[in-house]
Amino acid sequence: MREDIKVVTTYDIANVEILEHIGLVQGSTVRSRNVGADAFAFLKNVIGGELVGYSKLLKTSRDQAYARMLEDAESKGADAILGFRFQTSTVAAGAAEILAYGTAVKIK
């Protein structure tokens, strides 16, 4: 995976010329927790506090979706990704998709 692809949340990069808009790049993953973890999370929800297992799962999922987006950008010859965002959606009971996306560009 290329580490030199610049990723920004803005739609331009100060003092950088955009040579070509390549288009949408994305990476996603769908994850779920096991039944035991869900039962523990339910109990934790009653007494309050951070659901550490879910926090770790979401971080891992974001990292994987981000890496897949970079791979997509690299395969299209991009130098940068503009307008980077994460999006989450529920796809089934207990399962969520994490999507990383942005606009791939070539820069000078």
Nearest to 66 by CA among 79, 53, 82, 85: 85
pTM: 0.83
- What confidence tens digit (pLDDT) does each residue in 16-60 have? 999 999 999 999 999 886 545 555 555 555 666 776 777 888 899
Note the pLDDT tens digit of each residue in 83-101. Answer: 999 999 988 877 889 999 9
| Domains present along the chain, CATH in parentheses | 6-107 (3.30.110.70)
Based on the number of CB atoms within 10 Å of its own CB, is 105 exposed (0-12), middle (13-18) or buried (19 or more)?
buried
Query: How far is Cα 23 from Cα 103, in angstroms, rounded to an integer?
Result: 5
Higher pLDDT residue, 52 or 80? Answer: 80
d(CA 77, CA 73): 6
> Looking at residues 2-16, what average pLDDT do you find?
91
Q: Which residue has the tokens 């994850």?
A: 31
